[in-house]
Structures are given as C-alpha cells and as structure tokens.
Structure 1
Amino acid sequence: MALIQAVRTAIFYLLFLGQTAILAIIVGIIAIIWRRRTAVSWAIANYWRNSNVFMLRWIVGIRTEVEGGETIPPGPCIIAAKHQSDWDIFAILPHTDEKPAYIAKRELIDIPFFGWAAQSIDTISIDRSLGAGAIPTMLAEAKAKVARGCRIVIYPEGTRKAPLADPDYRQGIVRMYEALGVPVIPVALNSGLYWGRNSLVMWPGTARARFLPAIMPGLPAAEFADRLKTLIESETTRLIAEAVAAGIARPLSADFRARLAAATQVAGV
C-alpha cells in the first residue's frame, strides 16, 4: 500500500508542480502587462484549484469536503484557518467571493513570475525575519485590501502544523482583528492526515474543512484570541477524531492515538 501511494504521490507532485510553474509564468506575464487583478488571472487561479482537487481525487485518492462556507457573512472578512497542507488553499479559495487576499511569506513573493502572479491577485506579503516588526506593514496592506472588498485569508500559526501538534497562534491575527473591524471566520480542517507536511507519501481519504460561525468585531483582544484558538483547535480535533474513528489508510502510531485520546478529552468531543 505504501509503495503504491508513494508512486501516486510522485505522479501527483510532478503534475502539480509542473502545472503550477506554467500557470505562474502565464499569470506573471499578465501581471507585468496589466499590474492588477484581471478576469483572466482569476479564471486561471480557479482552474489551478479545480484541477488540483481533481488530481488529488483521481491520482492520490484524496476527496475534498468543505462545510459551512454558506454561513460566511457578505462583504469583507478575515478567514483564519488551521494550516496543515497545501490542500487548505484549495478548500478556502472558492469561499473568498472572488476577492481573496492571502497572507504569504515574503520568500514566495520574491520568486520570479510566481511572486508577480501572487501580487496580481492581492496577496499580502510578510517578512517573517522581522518578527513583530512586520505587523505594521501587514496591517496597512490588509486595510487597503479590505477597502477594496477583499476577504483576507490568514493562517494564525504562520506555517503548516502536523495534526495534533501543539498550537502556536501568533499576534498578527489579533492585531488584524483589532485594526480591521470585520468579522473573523475560523476554519478547522484535518488535511494533514492525508497530505502531511514534508511527507513523501500522501494517503487516500476525505480531507475535510469546516467554516465555523463568525467572530464579530468588538471583543477584547485576549477574549478574541482565546475564542479563536478554542474554536479552531476543538473543531480540528473533532474532524481528526471522526476520520480516525471511520478508519483511514494512513498508519497511525500508538503515540498519535494516545495524543488524540487526550486531545478529544480536553476538547470534549
């Protein structure tokens, strides 16, 4: 099973990375010419998302299931999601009202063509080497995007995390909540069970994301931070537990199962 999945994973990555490079060049050239979001750029981004979901399903065996997107209030908002794999981008993109503004690390924006393409669809870059010093610039860019009607997409922990890894929520999301005055939509997911960070093998199954009820503006910073973390972590634990209970192809260690049992008890799921 593992060998077959390794071969399927290699085929997927070959197609995924090759297609991404080609489309980034096309959108990058469009960005150089028009220097703004275009209908063509958005159509290409949608094609990229849909084709990758298709390849995941039919090459690797990973199905995609997203719940709760219809509950997002109209207009600009902040989508704050758990981040376990690149699949998370595919899950969230259709729910950005065609105006996404992803928060991305500066290193990605500096890549020729890819960076130009990302900037053309309102990506907000952040220099992680500056630590908290990068927040003022990020907030200024985010305010400008919200004024244009964008939905900001941020991963509050700043990077991908393995399922059940200790959470590490940064201050950027709290500062953004205070500064922008728009609803925050928490998103829980379990994609890391199937497409793990730096994993050489992707496992079949149903990756799930769940949009949770909006946290409206006006809460004290500490209360907001606690509510966001509690909502995302408890629901992520629930999604992981449901997947494991239903049975998954990925081998799970005794340590993982023990941590899951402890996490479900804490989360009350």
Structure 2
Amino acid sequence: MLLVRSLLFNVLFYLATAVMMIGGLPALASRRGVIRLAQVWARVMLWLLRVIVGLRVEFRGLEHRPPGGFVVAAKHQSALETLALVTVLDDFTYILKRELQWLPLFGWYLSRGGMVAIDRSKGSRALVLMNEEAAAAMAEGRQLIIFPEGTRRPPGAPPAYKYGVAHLYDRLGVPCQPVAVNTGLFWRRRSVLRRPGTAVIAFLPPIPPGLARDAFYPLLQERIEAATEALLREAAPAGAARDAVATGPTPAA
C-alpha cells in the first residue's frame, strides 16, 4: 500500500507541476508573481503529501526568522525541504546552477523569479558574481536559501559542509538562519517511496552578522548537526529513523 500511495503521489506531483507551469504563465509578468506561484505550487504539493501519503510537515521556530534580508542555511536530506521552505519565506531566492535556467518553461520561472545563478564556466569569477547577485537580493530584503553541504545527505551520514557558506556570510553582513530537518526519514533521496508521519523543519536562533569566518563556520555546523540529530532521535520511537539509517537510500525504480 505504501508503494501504491507513493507512486500515486509521484504521478500527481509531475502532473500538477506541468499544469501549474502552463496555467501560471501570466505570473511571468513579474518576479513577485513567480514567487507567489511557487508558494501556491509548494502548498499544493504538501497537501497532496498529507492527503495521499499521510506525510505532514511541521515547522518549528518560525519566530526566529529575522526581519529583512538574511541567509537561510539548511540541512539538506531530501527534496521535501526544497519545496517546503518556500511556503514560510515571503520573498525567497535559491542559489542554483545556471544550467537550470536553460530548461524549457521551468527555467523561465527560475530566471524571472530572480534566483541566484552560478555560472561555473567562469571559474573563480563565478564566486564574485554570485556574491554580487546575493548582495542585490539582500538589499531587496529577500531570504537567500543555501544548502551548506551542497547536496542531499542521508540521515546519519557524516556532515560534509563546504566553506562557501562562510564566505557568503562574511560578504553579505546579514544574519544567518540555521535550519535543521529530519525529512530524509520520510522522503529519501533516490527513492520512489514517501513514508507517512510528521517531518520536522526547525528554524534555529539566527547567528548575527559580524563573526569571523573561522568562528562562524564551526558554529553553524555545530548548531545544525546537533539539532538535526535531536530530530532524528525524536522520530526514532516510530521506527522511521532506525529503518532509514539502517537500510540507507533505496534506488528508484
């Protein structure tokens, strides 16, 4: 039954996404229109997850969100936090590969939505350009979402943080909002299964601007990892954590 529900959700996910991208073309008239459409899309997906799979997303610590522009540094275990975070951030932007903007239709939304694109072909210059775009987003009071490890990591995997988040924090001079998750217990990477339960996305107290890079970097990792480990232990009585960590990611069909 779990497989059937998961497959049904996956089919509706792609179908609803296609319908909303086509029907939402008028939103391309403005950046704000794209942001609002993305938030509606994400809420529809979370509703489908709840109704079909029985998977709910619980946000904690939303009161910790600082006003104005800030960096959201989130633990990355699943595609779930990628879509869920946009529902609680008023004017978000993601750091992403420039190549994604070349995708038909989907790329139009990324470009018009003002995402911060990295052109890796420019080498070291790419970091400078990324920082300039990120600074422009901060000046507009936006929330810049970054995954410090760069890719999804299964629950229980050793941390693999990149130093780029420290450079960004130092360059922008804004608060950094650490975010812990246990989403990988329910929506695993490279798996078609979506498990029922309550996935938690926890906003931790922000790190104020002004710390030295070498002080900020270990502090960010310590806070995110400690809170993530606590969320995994909290979910363990339901058996989800033991199952996910013991068996690892399940290859997609």
Cα distance, 1:24–1:181 mapped onto 2, change above 3 Å: same
CA distance in 2, matches of 1:161, 1:204: 20
Q: Does 1:244 align with 2:241?
A: no
Cα distance, 1:253–1:165 mapped onto 2, change above 3 Å: closer
- Residue identity (%): 41
Question: 1:176 offset after TM fit, Å?
Answer: 0.8
User: Do the aligned residues in 1 keep the contact of 2:116 with 2:133 (CA within 8 Å)?
Assistant: yes
Specify which of 77, 84, 95 is matched with residue 84 of structure 1.
77
Cα distance, 1:63–1:132 mapped onto 2, change above 3 Å: farther
Question: 1:222 offset after TM fit, Å?
Answer: 1.1
Specify which of 9, 12, 15 is matched with residue 12 of structure 2.
15
Q: Does 1:69 align with 2:62?
A: yes
State how 1:122-141 maps to structure 2 within 5 Å: 122-127=114-119, 134-141=126-133
Question: 1:101 offset after TM fit, Å?
Answer: 0.9
CA distance in 1, matches of 2:157, 2:14: 27
Give the secondary-structure state (helix, strand or coil) at the position aligned to 1:251.
helix
Aligned residue in 2 for 1:149: 141
Aligned-residue CA RMSD (Å)? 2.1
Aligned residue in 2 for 1:265: none
User: Do the aligned residues in 2 keep the contact of 1:100 with 1:122 (CA within 8 Å)?
Assistant: no
Question: 1:162 offset after TM fit, Å?
Answer: 0.9
Specify which of 183, 188, 208 is matched with residue 216 of structure 1.
208
Residue by residue, what CA displacement relative to the aligned partner does 1:69-89 show, whole Å, maximum 9, x if unpaired? 122111110011011112102
User: Do the aligned residues in 2 keep the contact of 1:101 with 1:153 (CA within 8 Å)?
Assistant: yes
Cα distance, 1:204–1:255 mapped onto 2, change above 3 Å: closer
TM normalised by structure 1 equals: 0.85
> What amino acid sits opposite 2:45 in the alignment?
N
Aligned residue in 1 for 2:32: 38
Aligned residue in 1 for 2:251: none
Q: Does 1:186 align with 2:178?
A: yes
User: Do the aligned residues in 2 keep the contact of 1:190 with 1:240 (CA within 8 Å)?
Assistant: yes
TM normalised by structure 2 equals: 0.90
CA distance in 1, matches of 2:159, 2:202: 18
Q: Does 1:59 align with 2:59?
A: no
User: Do the aligned residues in 2 keep the contact of 1:104 with 1:125 (CA within 8 Å)?
Assistant: yes
Cα distance, 1:160–1:132 mapped onto 2, change above 3 Å: farther
CA distance in 1, matches of 2:182, 2:78: 9
Give the secondary-structure state (helix, strand or coil) at the position aligned to 1:162.
coil
Unaligned runs of at least 5 residues, structure 1 = 257-269
Moved more, 87-96 or 6-15: 87-96
Give the secondary-structure state (helix, strand or coil) at the position aligned to 1:197.
coil
Residue by residue, what CA displacement relative to the aligned partner does 1:39-72 show, whole Å, maximum 9, x if unpaired? 4x33322221111111111111111101011221
CA distance in 2, matches of 1:102, 1:48: 16
